[in-house]
Amino acid sequence: MVKNNPLASSTDYFPEVRVIKLNTIILEKKETSNKGKWHSFIYVTSGSGVLGIDFDEHIALAGKVFFIEKYKYWNWEKVEDLEGLMVQFTDAFYNYIYTGNPKIKSDQSLIGDFSPFIKIVEKNEMKWKNAFEIIEKEYSDLIENSKEIICLSLKVLVLMYQRNTFSKSRLIIADRKKQLLSEFRNLVNNRFVELKTPKGIAQVLNITPNYLNAICKEIYNKTVSEIIQERVILEAKRLLAHSGLNVSEITYKLGFKDNSYFGRYFKKMVGVPPEKFRIINYNSLNV
């Protein structure tokens, strides 16, 4: 839980964005997960911490920048002399200045191929530091065009983050493939309940299942079916761990015909049945 935001006076002026110093974060026993409308950039300048993001733990150290999409569950599991900045914003704020450019358009650029974090190389440290300082300063000052400057600065951060992500993977992807992959990830993230097969997604994209599968194998080293299954299982885990729905309700919500099939599907992918996973991971505080 975040407390004692020194810039809290800005929240009325910027209801769709907030800037929080990491040294104000206080961990409490009744920690609740962050999920909902906020995308989060986290820039660590010193100290350390542990971030839990969708059932994975990540070490937060100086020189790391995290980007966590709004649909993910996450929380601080540990902090130790942590310094830096967290910038949280909504889709609406990100589109406050609309450019029409697909690289920085909200429904394209904020869904897809983000790695959980990037490590800033020494020669680029000043760029990242300056970008976050601009946002912090404008959020604090509340002067003319502050909103516009913060919005544009967020678009800069997204582009820098994407560039580092693609650079890390050393992939050179043609523009057409990038667009297809972006649309594919959007469909997988948002329509996985109704589109559970490669054929269904390929039809929406107006390409053949074989071509879509070839692209996914080339870029992700995974089949389309594997990527869809991972998304379905992730949502199942989230519902089992963070909702009050029973297994039958989760089965229905995820589009499965019956509990037994969902149970077999889940156990095959996770190694334990849904009921056991819930016993181990359920957090009633998030309900």
Domain spans of the chain, in order of start: 8-169, 175-286
Which tokens in the block code for residue 132?
Answer: 């976050």
How confident is the model at residue 107, as a pLDDT? 53
| Model confidence pLDDT, tens digit, residues 235-279 | 999 999 988 899 999 999 999 989 999 999 999 999 999 999 999
Spatial contact of 274 and 262, defined as CB atoms under 8 Å apart: yes
| Model confidence pLDDT, tens digit, residues 87-97 | 999 988 998 88
| Model confidence pLDDT, tens digit, residues 130-143 | 999 999 999 999 88
| pTM of the shown model | 0.74
Give 154's pLDDT tier (boundaries 50, 70, 90).
Answer: very high
How confident is the model at residue 1, as a pLDDT? 37
Model confidence at 157: pLDDT above 80: yes
Q: How far apart are CA 282 and CA 25, in angstroms?
A: 24
CATH 2.60.120.280 fits 8-169, yes or no: yes
Model confidence at 166: pLDDT above 70: no
Averaged pLDDT, 165-194: 73
The β-bridge relationship of strands 17-21 and 56-61 is unpaired
Residues 6+ apart with CB under 8 A from 255: 193, 194, 196
Q: Which CATH class is domain 175-286?
A: mainly alpha
Residue 231's identity, in one-letter code, is R
Which tokens in the block code for residue 79?
Answer: 């902090």
